Amino acid sequence: MIAWRPGTGRSREFEETALVHLDALYRSALRFTRNRAEAEDVLQETFLKAFRSFHRFNPGTSCRAWLFTILRNTFLNRVRDARWEVLEKDADAWEGAAESATAGPSAGANPEEEFFQTVLHGDVDRALKALPLVFREAVVLVDLEGLSYKEVAQVLGCPIGTVMSRLARGRGLLRRALREFAREHGYIKESE
């Protein structure tokens, strides 16, 4: 049981330091999980873990990066447990991501999620969601959440060069998928 009393020492410090990043972490959880309910569960579990281990947080470091690390680890643990997405390590599978990004919504998607995906966020969000997780993480954390390469390397537990490589590949796959969407909608001609 967590003793949460708003305004008291530890909880007030947590509110001021960590809870200010709630919206950013929710957006990232939603992009990682591709499902609102799952994103909410991941976010709740992330903040519960963060609160319980807040005494281990070093005040001189980036709380945002620390929270994204917890979010990512929580998400990956759920992925492993549920076995609903596998991290792809095969380069050939990465190349096929652009083709999967242009595929329509899955037949099993509920109408609300389908509407959210196609109408509210459109082609960019569909292309982003279709990226393999290793690239989607880098793109979301750098381009959408504004973390530095150093912070992303800390979150992902890899060298900065790997972050840069994943970001370049992810951006390239997004460009390819978006070019295909533009052709489908008639924004660019087939020869371009």
Q: Which amino acid is at 167?
A: L
Q: Indicate the CATH number for domain 88-192.
A: 1.10.10.10
- The per-residue pLDDT for 101 is 44
pTM exceeds 0.95, yes or no: no
* Cα separation, 120 vs 143, whole angstroms: 20
Q: Domain coordinates of the chain in residue numbers?
A: 7-85, 88-192
Angstrom distance (rounded) from CA 160 to CA 96: 25
Structure tokens at 6: 């708003």
Q: Do domains 7-85 and 88-192 have the same CATH topology?
A: no
* pLDDT reported for residue 112: 54
Are the C-beta atoms of residues 94 and 169 closer than 8 Å to each other?
Answer: yes
Q: What is the pLDDT of residues 26-78, one digit of tens each?
A: 999 998 888 899 999 999 999 999 999 998 998 888 999 999 999 999 999 98
Q: What is the CATH number of domain 7-85?
A: 1.10.1740.10
| 47 in Cβ contact with 53 (< 8 Å) | no
